[in-house]
């Protein structure tokens, strides 16, 4: 809704543009008619000052360290709920009743199996293929198996596709993992909850019984909740942009996975773990902290600070507690984990880190936790994709239902050659 108007001057032209006000957060200047009125575009690389859409799903206040899903603080959802409850909230806008939750859990659980032909699909990949490469291909291929839920104009088909995506993503992720380590696929079990089912599909083998540790399942469930959505980040914007063309939802999510694969986006927790591996041993922590403070040293601390959060990442507070719960349960004496604990202690007490607000972020803690749970670093971004699928689907559905949305078509500032005349090859000197 327009709260007031803003006047900008372009040459001799005074242009009045409406200002829109959201529920909370900064107002935005609506520049939709700027080109028509002035013949000028705006220039904003990285879209750091541009709102691409209206959304009711997620809100971030980076200065205050606030993250809300549909108005609910992330701390409350992670501590008191579970991942499928959060998924329901994302999709429908309200927390479910007991009956709605039971029905939603039932429907997701009964969609976890994938078409048997998908087993052969995996055999086309090399065993050393990166699991994210496998995920991009397999998720995109789902549209070849489920033709009955690709009509985006049909509300019921959109919902079926959403449920299928949320349900089948952990199954495909577990299959990708099993394939890379040469173990047989493990089918889902309907009597297990979402994350317990996923852990079993990843770590069970046919020759023995597998019992899911509830502390591990709860830790992974929290990781999924904390990563479920994060406003209009690169992968979410990719999903929306792909969806704006009318592409089917499976293709849109595959595009989001491809974007998430980038190390600047989904690979941050893997980068944090690699940093810990570089430090190597607890006795090296002080030396590397000194290197991080040295502006002339190329070493950088990964997993500290955040582009959006200028305060403590609210997800990191929850993840910190969860990480220590997992480490205590394991009773591990692992050099890398000892390095992480020492580094965390310094970062929370050292004036240099406090002054620059270089708090440990969620990637620092989630990388440690996932390693402790037994996942290789190549699977970290895959797990991120499993969680973020809920947010992607909710954002995609919101975009489809928004009558003001058009196909995405960013403008550009052209800096190439001016118009030139073609000269035939034989006449060129």
What is the distance between the alpha carbons of residues 171 and 258, in angstroms, rounded to a whole number? Answer: 18
Quick check: helix, strand or coil at residue 110?
coil
Spot the catalytic one: 221, 363, 402, 421.
363
Rounded to an integer, what distance in angstroms lies between the CA atom of residue 361 and that of residue 348? 11
Report the alpha-carbon distance of residue 422 to residue 403 in Å, rounded. Answer: 44
Give the position of tokens 């050393």: 128
Strand partners, 28: 20
Q: How many CA atoms lie within 13 A of 195 on its CB side?
A: 21
The answer to whether 306 is a known catalytic residue is yes
Which residues are CB-contacts of 84 (< 8 A; sequence separation ≥ 6)? 101, 104, 105, 108, 193, 194
Residue 240 gets the label, from left (phi > 0), alpha (psi -120 to 50) or beta, of alpha
Taking the C-alpha atoms of residue 196 and residue 192, their distance in angstroms, rounded to an integer, is 6
Place of tokens 């995920």: 135
Q: Angle of helix 335-349 relative to helix 285-293, nearest 10 degrees?
A: 50
Q: What would the two tokens of residue 407 be?
A: 């196909």
Find out whether 272 and 363 touch, Cβ atoms under 8 Å.
yes
Backbone angles phi, psi at 337, to 5 degrees: -70, -35
Q: At which residue do the structure tokens 């293709």 appear? A: 251
If one counts every other C-beta atom within 10 angstroms of the C-beta of residue 31, the result is 20
Q: Which of 221, 306, 313, 324 is catalytic?
A: 306
User: Taking the CA of residue 1 as centre, how many other CA atoms within 13 Å lie in the half-sphere pointing to its CB?
Assistant: 4
Is 105 considered catalytic here? no
Active site residues: 306, 363
């Amino acid at each position: 809704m327009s709260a007031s108007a803003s006047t900008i001057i372009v040459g001799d032209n005074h242009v009045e543009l409406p200002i829109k006000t959201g529920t909370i957060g900064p107002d935005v200047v609506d520049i939709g008619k700027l080109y028509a009125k002035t013949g000028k575009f705006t220039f904003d690389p990285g879209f750091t000052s541009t709102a691409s859409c209206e959304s009711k799903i997620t809100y971030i206040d980076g200065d205050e360290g606030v993250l809300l899903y549909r108005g609910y603080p992330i701390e409350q959802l992670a501590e008191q709920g579970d991942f499928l409850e959060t998924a329901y909230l994302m999709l429908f806008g309200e927390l479910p009743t007991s009956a709605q939750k039971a029905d939603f859990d039932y429907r997701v659980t009964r969609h976890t199996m994938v078409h048997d032909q998908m087993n052969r699909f995996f055999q086309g990949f090399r065993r050393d293929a990166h699991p994210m490469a496998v995920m991009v291909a397999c998720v995109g291929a789902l549209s070849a198996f489920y033709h009955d839920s690709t009509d985006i104009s049909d509300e019921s088909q959109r919902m079926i596709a959403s449920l299928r995506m949320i349900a089948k993503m952990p199954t495909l992720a577990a299959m990708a993992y099993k394939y890379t380590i040469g173990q047989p696929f493990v089918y889902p079990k309907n009597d297990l909850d979402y994350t317990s089912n996923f852990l079993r599909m990843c770590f069970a083998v046919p020759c023995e019984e597998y019992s899911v540790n509830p502390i591990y399942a709860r830790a992974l469930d929290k990781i999924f909740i904390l990563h479920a959505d994060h406003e209009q980040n690169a992968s979410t914007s990719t999903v929306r942009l792909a969806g704006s063309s009318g592409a089917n939802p499976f293709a849109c999510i595959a595009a989001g996975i491809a974007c998430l694969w980038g190390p600047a986006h989904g690979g941050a927790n893997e980068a944090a773990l690699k940093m810990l591996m570089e430090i190597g041993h607890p006795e090296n922590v002080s030396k590397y902290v000194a290197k991080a403070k040295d502006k002339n040293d190329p070493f950088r601390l990964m997993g500290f600070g955040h582009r959006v959060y200028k305060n403590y990442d609210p997800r990191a507070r929850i993840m910190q507690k969860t990480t220590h719960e997992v480490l205590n349960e394991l009773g591990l004496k692992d050099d890398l984990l000892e390095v992480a604990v020492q580094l965390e202690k310094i970062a929370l007490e050292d004036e240099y880190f406090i002054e620059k607000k270089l708090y440990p972020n969620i990637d620092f803690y989630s990388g440690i936790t996932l390693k402790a749970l037994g996942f290789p670093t190549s699977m970290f971004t895959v797990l991120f994709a499993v969680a973020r699928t809920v947010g992607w689907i909710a954002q995609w559905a919101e975009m489809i239902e928004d009558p003001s949305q058009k196909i995405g078509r960013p403008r550009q500032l052209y800096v190439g050659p001016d118009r030139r005349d073609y000269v035939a090859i034989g006449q060129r000197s």
